[in-house]
Amino acid sequence: MKISSVLMRSSLWGAGVLLALCGSTNAATSQATDNQATLMGKASIVFSGTVSQLAATSFADVPKSAQTIVVRVDAILKKPAAVSLKRGDSVTVDAKDASAFQEGTRATFYTDGWIFGSGVAVKELGHVLGNTNEPVPPPGAGKNRPGQAPGQLSDQELKERMNESDFVVVGRVTDVHKWNAPKAKSGAPLHVTEHDPDWHEAVVEIQSVLKGGQVKGNKVVVRYPNQNDVAWAHSPRFTKNQRGIFCLNRDKTTGAPLTKLGSKEVSVYTCLGHGDALPLSEEARVRALLKNQ
């Protein structure tokens, strides 16, 4: 047999294997896309998020088991209008196979509602690892404005952050201190996790309220994670005398939504998402976006 014939057959065989592999990959990709589309159709609540706790629940009404996990919401893809759920909330997921997750795992969850009370608990229908199904923004929404710094939120993203917030305020941080979580009846700290957030509290003196009506008193307590961990990578941290614009949500994450400020018991707020703390230089932009909502 001539060498040229052998080489030709080898080349043809290699090309055939390559085509088969490509076909297999395309088929797998197509099947995965079909499965996600099917899950999206079946599920009533779909969100992407980061697993923060295993064998735990996000509020007391939910029975804790080896299959329940707590997920911090990064983006909402689908939900009924009546369900109160937003970025930064902690959701209990009754997982089909909890062994598929570790603390810090990011995934898109396709779920149905399970228990609603002081929080949201859902039953998993399926999941896709990674935050793969981010909502599709309007044309040009993800593009930077002229002069916009890399990593800065676009106008559309900032509007979404403010829409999801209970309050948007201009203020100054007057104090920062570590917060020691209260202990459960067993004596163990609440919400023990490998990704310990190292909760701190910032006292913010309110100078003006841009959204949310009047804040009780002229100071609020903002609880935030001081740990530079994958689970809290996008959460802002605070320093004394810091001035800025803060997007605040009532605390549904730490398990203790009230704290002492002086002699008074006050509500706690959180500031957990990228863009929840902005410099004063953004005030004109923030006011314009709120005005146009």
Distance of alpha carbon 131 from alpha carbon 142, whole angstroms: 17
The pLDDT, as a whole number, for residue 229 is: 65
Per residue in 202-245, pLDDT (tens digit) is: 999 999 999 998 777 789 999 998 886 666 767 889 999 999 99
Do 160 and 264 share a domain, yes or no? yes
Which residues, including other chains, have CB under 8 Å from residue 156's CB and lie 6 or more apart? 137, 138, 141, 142
281 in any annotated domain: yes
| CATH classification at residue 82 | 2.40.50
278 in any annotated domain: yes
Average pLDDT of the residues in 267-273? 89
112 in any annotated domain: yes
110-124 burial, b for 16+ CB within 10 Å, e for fewer? bbebbbeeebbbbbb
Q: Which domain covers residue 13, as residue numbers?
A: 1-42
Do 180 and 258 share a domain, yes or no? yes
138 in any annotated domain: no
**How many folded domains does the chain comprise?**
3
Do 31 and 70 share a domain, yes or no? no
The pLDDT, as a whole number, for residue 232 is: 72
The pLDDT, as a whole number, for residue 231 is: 65
Do 189 and 225 share a domain, yes or no? yes
Do 73 and 106 share a domain, yes or no? yes
* Predicted model pTM: 0.53
| CATH classification at residue 275 | 2.40.50.120
